[in-house]
Amino acid sequence: MNLSQTILGITFKNPTVLASGIWGITASGWREVARGGAGAITTKSLWLHEHKGHPNPTIIETDHWMLNAVGVPDAGVEKAREEIGDFMKDHPIPLIANIIAESIENFAKTAEKIAELKSDILEVNISCPNVEDEFGKPFACSIPDAAKVTKAVKKVSGKIPVFIKLSPNVESIAAVAASCADAGADGFTVINTVGPGMAIDLKSRMPILANRVGGVSGPGIKPIAVKCIADVYAATKGMIPIIGTGGVYSGEDALELILAGASLVGIGSAVSRFGAGVFKKVCDEMQEWCTNEGIDSINQMIGGMHKELASRAQR
């Protein structure tokens, strides 16, 4: 059973991808994730200049959900140059550089600087729910703004494919995706965290996160991710690759996102339960399931739900 694929000219040995914001701040951390069996890694969001995050607590978790408001701390492009440069020396697996900015102009400037580092993909974070107090509603919540960011980044990114990371916290993710696709997006990452949400400590009566609110991830958001992926796949007629992200802990979780339309599957919160070994675990489970079902390539599964629905409609 073959888990490998070539997407936009990039070969992935398996569909698992380290999601942005998880463990991803140094080349040595990315290599450890690569050794754990990931098909690709995504960097934590990179800013043009230094950006402070929120005070702690920034990440809390229960059986059902994780809540985070780290606040996207980063040291700026110079650190990115050092760490990405280091990783690209041996380049064990594809690197997806995730970028963030507070304005369309700075998205373009950051993309231009990061594109020089020749990452395999540029992922554009227009959907972080944790810096709203600082910068207002994310660009992903406005159909025209999402398209403007896409256009600005595409203009400066050369041959590097541009993936737009979308928010589930919108009226129509399909409409946002369609407008970004018109503006030239090469792919989508679906979804960023949900909410934002809040958790309160009973005795002190205080919100636990220092930022009070934070993005929700973990097992409970998988149905939202599946629905959003299906919407984006349908809106783009299955022509644009999707990195599906949200609530993946097992091979069956990953396959569900793939049937909804994902080509690659991001894994984030599950890293805290299974460590770097989560990538191999998910791949082994996908292998086993597909082998038992007589499926010999992962390509046969991508967008499978849409194909099944269409074939039933014709009967």
Partner 1 sequence: MTQIPLESRLPTTYRIKEIRQETPMVKTFTFDGSLGAKPGQFVMVWLPGVDEIPMSVAFDDGAHTRITFFAVGGMTEILAEAKVGDLVGLRGPFGTRYTWDPGDHIVLVAGGYGAAPMYFVASQAVTHGCTLEAIIGARSKEHLLYVKELESLPHVSVHLSTDDGSMGFKGYNTNILDKLLNVTQDAETQDPPVDKVFSCGPEMMLKSVLTICDKYNVPCQLSLERYMKCGFGICGNCTVDPLGVRLCTDGPVVKGEVCRKIAEFGVYHRDDLGKKNAF
Task: Tell me, residue by residue from 276 to 295, as one string, x for binding to partner 1 by CB under 8 A and - for no binding.
Answer: -x------------------
Distance of CA 301 to the CA centre of its chain: 20
| Rounded distance between C-alpha atoms, residue 110 and residue 177, angstroms | 22
DSSP per position, 291-315: HHTT--BGGGTTTHHHHHHHHHHH-
CB 67, min distance to partner 1, A:
9
| Part of the chain binding partner 1 (CB under 8 A), chosen from 19-27, 124-132, 238-246, 303-311 | 19-27
Enter the tokens of residue 285.
Answer: 């489970």
Known catalytic membership, residue 180: no
Task: Indicate whether 31 belongs to the interface with partner 1 (CB under 8 A).
Answer: yes
Nearer to partner 1, 272 or 299 (CB): 272
Task: Indicate whether 8 belongs to the interface with partner 1 (CB under 8 A).
Answer: no
Kind of pairing between the strands at 206-207 and 264-267? unpaired
Start-to-end CA span in the chain (Å): 30
Could you say which of 272, 287, 299, 300 contacts partner 1 (CB under 8 A)? Answer: 272
Contact 247, 220 (CB under 8 A): yes
| Part of the chain binding partner 1 (CB under 8 A), chosen from 28-36, 98-106, 107-115, 154-162 | 28-36
Binding positions for partner 1, 202-221, rule CB under 8 A: 203-204, 206, 208, 210
Nearer to partner 1, 216 or 235 (CB): 216
Q: What angle do CA 286, 220, 249 make, to 5 degrees?
A: 25
Q: Tell me the residue type at 243.
A: I
Contact 22, 279 (CB under 8 A): no
Contact 40, 264 (CB under 8 A): yes
Task: Tell me, residue by residue from 218 to 257, as one string, x for binding to partner 1 by CB under 8 A and - for no binding.
Answer: ----------------------------------------
As beta bridge partners, residue 11 has: 6
Residue numbers annotated as active site: 128
* Interface ranges with partner 1 (CB under 8 A): 22-26, 28-33, 35, 44, 50-53, 55-63, 66, 70, 73-75, 79, 199, 201, 203-204, 206, 208, 210, 268-269, 271-272, 275, 277
